[in-house]
């Protein structure tokens, strides 16, 4: 990606891996990526290692505590979105046999992005591209993707 090193790709082994990458994309929206990266170890700890079931079961009181936790980026709406996204991720995983199968159930990159945006909160076009790239799904080159966004 121009001006910065491409993010490291992973081979997701659990729903938590998907949730962590998705959550990083959410926190990066509107915030310096460097700030998010520097806070990530604390965010990861506060979010229980991104265990999807644990996050899906957070209570409003747990969220209240997270909004006071200096380790995290304390945007209540983003914190709530991550909890809701964990719940939706689990539902899609169960409904499709695996979350990877859900991602691959669409007719190409654009359809996948469209559905991700519909299914998950705080996930825009850039966040979807980042998410799909990092979890090893097929994405157009960054240059192609940028060019397609200028014409749409």
pLDDT for residue 93: 98
The pLDDT of residue 130 is above 70 = yes
Give the DSSP letter of residue 107.
Answer: S
Secondary structure letter of residue 12 according to DSSP: -
pLDDT of residue 1: 46
Res. 109: pLDDT tops 60: yes
Query: Domain spanning 15-151: which superfamily?
Result: Hypothetical protein; domain 2 (1.10.340.30)
Take residue 121 and report the two structure tokens written for it.
């909160």
pTM score of the predicted model? 0.92
pLDDT of residue 150: 75
CB 20 within 8 A of CB 43: no
DSSP H or E run through 77: helix 76-96
The span from the CA of 141 to the CA of 101, in Å, is 22
Calculate mean pLDDT across residues 95-108: 97
Between vectors from CA 117 to CA 113 and to CA 118, what angle results, nearest 5°? Answer: 115
The tens digit of pLDDT for each residue in 71-95 reads 999 999 999 999 999 999 999 999 9
> Domain segments of the chain: what residues?
15-151
Mean pLDDT, residues 10-14 taken together = 96
pLDDT at 151: 60
End-to-end CA distance of the chain: 20
pLDDT digits (tens, 9 = 90+) for 27-84: 998 898 899 999 999 999 999 999 999 999 999 999 999 999 999 999 999 999 999 9
Other Cβ atoms less than 10 A from the Cβ of 142: the count is 13
Residue 149 has pLDDT above 90, yes or no: no
Predicted pLDDT at 7: 86
Structure tokens at 1: 């990606």
């Amino acid at each position: 990606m121009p001006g910065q090193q491409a993010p490291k790709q992973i081979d997701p082994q659990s729903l938590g891996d998907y949730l962590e990458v998705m959550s990083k994309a959410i926190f990066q929206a509107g915030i310096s990526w460097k700030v998010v990266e520097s806070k990530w170890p604390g965010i990861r700890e506060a979010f229980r290692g991104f265990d999807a079931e644990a996050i899906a079961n957070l209570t409003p009181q747990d969220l209240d505590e997270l909004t006071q936790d200096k380790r995290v980026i304390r945007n209540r709406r983003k914190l709530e979105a991550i909890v809701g996204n964990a719940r939706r991720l689990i539902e899609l995983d169960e409904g499709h046999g695996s979350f990877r199968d859900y991602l691959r159930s669409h007719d190409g990159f654009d359809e996948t992005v469209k559905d991700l945006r519909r299914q998950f909160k705080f996930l825009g076009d850039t966040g979807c591209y980042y998410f799909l790239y990092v979890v090893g799904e097929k994405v157009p080159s960054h240059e192609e993707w940028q060019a397609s966004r200028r014409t749409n």
